[in-house]
Amino acid sequence: MKILITGCNGQVGNSLVKLLSSMLTVEFLAVDHKQLDITDGPAVIKLVNEFKPDVIVNAAAYTSVDKAEQEIELSYAINRDGPLFLAQASNMVCASLIHISTDYVFDGNKNGEYEELDVPRARSVYGASKLAGEEAVIKECNRAVVIRTSWVFSEFGNNFVKTMLALSKRQNSIMVVDDQIGGPTYAGDLANEIVKISELIYLNKNFPFGIYHYSGFPYVTWYEFADTIFDIAAVYQIIQEKPSLNPIKTNLYPAVAKRPKNSCLSMDKIENTLSIRPSNWKVGLERVLLNLRVPNESNRN
Active-site pick, 76, 126, 186, 212: 126
Q: What long-range pairs does 43-50 form, CB within 8 A, spacing at least 24?
A: 44/82, 44/85, 44/86, 44/88, 44/89, 45/85, 45/88, 45/89, 45/92, 47/4, 47/89, 48/4, 48/86, 48/89, 48/90, 48/92, 48/93, 48/95, 49/89, 49/92, 49/93
Q: Which of 177, 283, 257 is nearest to 220 (CA)?
A: 177
Catalytic, 253? Answer no
Edge-first strand listing for the sheet containing 181-182: 220-221, 181-182, 262-263
H runs (alpha helix) in 152-254: 160-170, 187-203, 222-235
Omega before residue 53 within 30° of 0, cis: no
CA distances from 122 to 106, 147, 267, 269 (A): 5, 16, 20, 22
Supply the residues annotated as catalytic: 126
